[in-house]
Amino acid sequence: MRGQAQIMMVAESMSGLRGELSSDEPMSAHTSWRVGGPADQCYRPADLEDLQQFLAALAPDEPVTWVGLGSNLLVRDGGIRGTVILPFGGLDTLESVDSGRVRAGAGVACARVARFAARAGLTDAEFLAGIPGTMGGALAMNAGAFGGETWSLVASVQTLDHQGELHQRKRTDYEVSYRTVSGAKNEWFVATDLQLQAGDSAAAQSRIRSLLERRSATQPTQQPSCGSVFRNPPGDFAACLIESCGLKGEQIGGARVSEKHANFIVNLGSASAADIETLIRYVQRQVQQRHDVRLHMEVRIIGEFE
């Protein structure tokens, strides 16, 4: 962890910026599991131009981590070295830009995009309402819900590199598969144009309500979690494999496999990141031993051990 004097020097060198810079920021305040140690420093940009200036002012070798709503992320108890970017509320572009196209910034919640599109009489984005994260995170991992996947809608993306330079990228610049996206190295998504279809606004809004009701009925939405912990293996469902091992309700410290949905691990209120990670590894071992299937994590685990 950096000393306060070093943080002060960094802050002074960025005195012209309009965003919020903090040091030793507890990541438990920025993750849906409500766990995670402190980041050396966090920056919440005012807008895209402000973020460009901030990145340009960083040392070239400064580690940078982006955290949207922290809904697919486990930050270890020792925290994160380097700088964390918090785009939620800053990179908030959301507008219709052409016939059937919607432009969304990386800091916009996926559910907000779904509602915006539906009100505009555009369809195919309703499933985004079931993704509890930002568009930046959804782009990075090809997040999906209710049979839909983010990159099925993507026409183009805008990215930002470590020097603060913007790049325009086509859909074909990336290789996309289930929960995996690869393309230009050392660039972060800051916006996307989504290609949608004209349709019935009322029907689209009704579908969103139906999907959210289904989500509430089948997932532990009232408890801190990260959403689905594991990817579904080919031809099967992670939740079914976990449940068949009798692991619903399995608990380590303050972390428990949800009784409502076996592919969710919930924080009962006192969990540490170590509790959650230990339970994840335990579930993996049990499924491997019982079914000879290796469950691969959908959640990202980052940071230092305490």
Considering the domain 94-217 in this protein, what is its CATH number? 3.30.465.10
Decide: 19 and 50 in contact? Cβ < 8 Å.
yes
- Architecture per CATH, 4-85: 2-Layer Sandwich (3.30)
The alpha carbons of the chain give a radius of gyration, in whole angstroms, of 20
4-59: pLDDT as tens digits: 434 444 555 566 899 999 999 999 999 999 999 999 999 999 999 999 999 999 99
Decide: 55 and 99 in contact? Cβ < 8 Å.
no
Please state the rounded mean pLDDT for residues 228-237: 96
Decide: 238 and 143 in contact? Cβ < 8 Å.
no
Q: Where in the chain is the domain with CATH 3.90.78.10?
A: 220-302
Say which residue the tokens 């819900």 belong to: 145
Please state the rounded mean pLDDT for residues 187-203: 98
Classified as helix, coil or strand, 83 is strand
Choose among 99, 101, 70: nearest CA to 85.
70
Please state the rounded mean pLDDT for residues 216-233: 96
Q: Where in the chain is the domain with CATH 3.30.465.10?
A: 94-217
Residues recognised as catalytic? 179, 228, 298
Average pLDDT, the chain: 94
Q: Where in the chain is the domain with CATH 3.30.43.10?
A: 4-85
187 sits in which H/E element: strand 187-195
Considering the domain 220-302 in this protein, what is its CATH number? 3.90.78.10
